[in-house]
Amino acid sequence: MKIKIDYEKCFKSGECYYNHPELFRMGDDGFPVAVVDEVDAEIDAEMLRHARQALEVCPSEAISLEE
């Protein structure tokens, strides 16, 4: 699973990097940067759960998971 950030939609709420610093960090301009680009669903179910939570808490609906 690849974590995608749509920078057109993102309005820098910070919800992803505040709630899930294991997956995202604040970039220089306040936009999130994915720390982990790809989560292997088979190996790391916990990380995948976190990625799904991040997708849920994002108020701008800018995060998506792709196969």
Contact footprint for another protein (CB under 8 A): 11-15, 17-22, 25-26, 28, 30, 53, 59-60
Our CB check for another protein shows the closer of 30 and 41 to be: 30
Q: Is residue 24 a contact partner of residue 35, using CB atoms and an 8 Å limit?
A: yes
Our CB check for another protein shows the closer of 37 and 61 to be: 61
Distance of alpha carbon 44 from alpha carbon 58, whole angstroms: 22
> For the purposes of burial, counting CB atoms within 10 Å of the CB of 28, is it exposed (0-12), middle (13-18) or buried (19 or more)?
exposed
Q: Closest separation between CB of residue 4 and another protein, Å? A: 19
Q: Closest separation between CB of residue 67 and another protein, Å? A: 25
